[in-house]
């Protein structure tokens, strides 16, 4: 891995290799911990993507 990419991703000695969707991701352990601890808000995501379509379906 080029040094500039390792610096950008803040990858040091403590790393995580995560397999996901047919690929392997290399993460700085601290950054991976932050992302993996977050709980996704699927309701907000659906509203953002679908807009009022969910409300239209519920009212039918």
Which pLDDT score, from 0 to 100, does residue 37 have?
63
Which pLDDT score, from 0 to 100, does residue 23 have?
92
Inter-CA distances, 58 with 37, 45, 49, 53, 55, Å: 32, 17, 16, 9, 5
From first to last of the 60 residues of the chain, give the pLDDT tens digit. Answer: 899 988 988 898 899 898 878 899 888 888 887 776 666 677 777 777 777 655 555 555
Q: Where are the domains of the chain?
A: 3-59
């Amino acid at each position: 891995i080029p040094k500039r990419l390792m610096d950008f991703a803040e990858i040091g000695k403590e790393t995580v290799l995560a397999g996901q969707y047919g690929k392997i991701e290399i993460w700085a352990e601290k950054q991976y911990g932050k992302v993996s601890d977050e709980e996704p808000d699927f309701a907000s995501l659906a509203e953002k993507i679908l807009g009022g379509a969910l409300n239209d379906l519920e009212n039918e």
